[in-house]
Chain A
Amino acid sequence: NAGVMQNPRHLVRRRGQEARLRCSPMKGHSHVYWYRQLPEEGLKFMVYLQKENIIDESGMPKERFSAEFPKEGPSILRIQQVVRGDSAAYFCASSPIQGPQETQYFGPGTRLLVL
């Protein structure tokens, strides 16, 4: 059973470009969380999605950031017009059901560098 897959693992963008980060949850998992890890900080929640629905995007910046989890295919985190402050590691996690005791399984992350 493959784990959570994320691609690309590393992404370099120039200021003003778009970044698309992909996350394929574990098989059978319909709950996806995105977290951001800024240099020398812990992970911060960004958005929580179920298939075709955004449930909670309270941690996501209001502008330039969007997320989706279509019926078919991976979850996508999209950052438009990137700025240097967007440089970070972005992690996706999935779980089979929702619940406070449920384990979230993390992918290897996408490390975004904005030049």
Chain B
Amino acid sequence: AQSVTQLGSHVSVSEGALVLLRCNYSSSVPPYLFWYVQYPNQGLQLLLKYTSAATLVKGINGFEAEFKKSETSFHLTKPSAHMSDAAEFFCAVSDVGATNKLIFGTGTLLAVQP
């Protein structure tokens, strides 16, 4: 069975500092991985996705993630945090069975301090 694990339910950074949100996956087949962001009382918005085309994936709002098979990781980074980045971030893997449902991690709440 496929799964993702997000280490750190809460991460706090200072404005301008590096953002690093961790995601590790478990999959018996090459995975398709996603990062979504959820702002308060809103739905999920896709940040980026890995579909095996390139290991370094660039997304919206300056975020990027690197797929590392040897580490079974897909960590999300941004060089310089903005106040507007404060949100909850979810890593997900696509179930490669018949339905391709998304299997989500438990989320990481990012706080950005001024």
Whether A and B are associated in the same complex: the answer reads yes
Interface residues in chain B, defined as those with a beta carbon under 8 Å from any beta carbon in chain A: 32, 34, 36, 41-46, 49, 51, 90, 94-96, 98-107
What 1/0 flags go to A93-115 for Cβ under 8 Å of B?
10000111111111111010000
Known: A101-B32, A106-B44. A33 touches B94 (CB 8 A): no
What 1/0 flags go to A64-98 for Cβ under 8 Å of B?
00000000000000000000000000010100001
Q: List 13 A-B contacts (CB under 8 A).
A: A33-B102, A42-B106, A43-B104, A45-B103, A56-B98, A93-B44, A99-B100, A100-B32, A100-B94, A104-B102, A106-B43, A106-B44, A106-B45
Chief secondary structure at chain B's binding surface: loop
Collect the chain A residues with CB atoms within 8 Å of residue B103's CB: 45
Shortest Cβ distance from A106 into chain B, in angstroms?
Answer: 4
